[in-house]
Amino acid sequence: MTPPTPDDPHPAVPYGTPDAPRIAVRGEAHLEVDPEIARIGITVASRGKDRRTALDDLTRRNTTALDLIKSYGEAVERLETGTFSITPQLKEGRGERIHAHHGRVHITAELTDFTALGELTTRLADLDLTRVDGPWWALRPDSPAHREARQQAVREAVQRAREYAEALGTTLAALVELADIGAENTPPAYPAAPGARMRSMAHGATEDTTAAPLDLEPQRQHVHAQVNARFTMAPPQL
């Protein structure tokens, strides 16, 4: 029989033979593990009657927020500044008269110390015109949980194939194919609805008032893995 070409729309199905029957199974794994990192989004805003005032206030508040985050040292694994804008607000009516200018800058912080996370988010939320969103809990891309899920899926595929072979009174002979059909961590790093949401504030508290740190419960992460496997087995006596 001529082997199919890469462009053949109907390639031959790899059936077994009476002397080497094949068995195809799927192995699955589902783990529930603690998160390794937490991300929060910080939005710092300003408002001024002129552009320079809004920009100066935004620069000062942005620096204050960054310094506060950096003060937590190794607890902060990553710190990034995202979008920045200064937008004029026009007065109602005819013409292009500017009523005020609004400034905004977005910061993303990634933490590994969840005890520091509750304290930091509370202190950030106490800053003037500062909004805090999150946290988004996640695993690192190279987390051992992903490897464990894949290995568990393979072990399940082998076990399932052995059970089918035993039901026929025979044993597995060889592995023909092992296909990884996807391994993923859910929820994604930035879900539509965060696992928990910090309070958002437009104005900070007075200087002599210190808010109590938020008590945050990390959201368990679900890791899935699936594989398809094909084996040959010794001919059963039917």
Name every residue whose Cβ is closer than 8 Å to that of residue 219 and which is 6 or more positions away in sequence: 35, 137, 195, 196
Q: How far apart are CA 198 and CA 122, in angstroms?
A: 8
C-beta separation of 113 from 72 below 8 A: yes
Q: Kind of pairing, strands 76-90 and 172-186?
A: unpaired
- pLDDT of 10: 43
The pLDDT tens digits along the chain (238 residues) read 445 545 544 444 457 788 899 999 999 999 999 999 999 999 999 998 888 999 999 999 999 999 999 999 999 999 999 999 998 887 776 667 777 899 999 999 999 999 999 999 999 999 999 999 999 999 999 999 999 999 999 999 999 999 999 999 999 999 999 999 865 555 454 544 344 333 344 444 444 466 788 788 899 999 999 999 999 999 998 8
Find all residues with CB under 8 Å of 227, minimum gap 6, and list them. 26, 27, 150, 153, 154, 157, 178, 179, 180, 181
Separation CA 90–CA 98 (nearest Å): 4
The pLDDT, as a whole number, for residue 19 is 86
Reduce the DSSP state of residue 170 to 3 states and report it: coil
Residue 120: the pLDDT is 96
pLDDT of residue 7: 53
126's tokens: 């106490």
Residue 177 φ/ψ, nearest 5 degrees:
-155, 140
pLDDT of residue 211: 73
User: What pLDDT, on a 0 to 100 scale, did the predictor assign at position 183?
Assistant: 55
Give 64's contacts (C-beta < 8 A, 6+ positions apart). 127
Query: How high is the pLDDT of residue 94?
Result: 65
Q: Which of 147, 173, 149, 179 is nearest to 161 (CA)?
A: 173
| 118, 115, 189, 203 alpha-carbon torsion, rounded to 10° | 20
pLDDT for residue 196 = 39
**Cα→Cα distances 145→52, 179, 180, 225, Å:** 50, 19, 16, 10
pLDDT at 73: 95
C-alpha angle 30-36-227 in degrees, rounded to nearest 5: 25
Q: Residues 94, 95, 101, CA angle at the centre, nearest 5°?
A: 115
Peptide bond preceding 9 in cis form (omega within 30 of 0): no
pLDDT (0 to 100) of residue 83 = 93
The number of beta carbons lying within 10 Å of the beta carbon of residue 99 is: 10
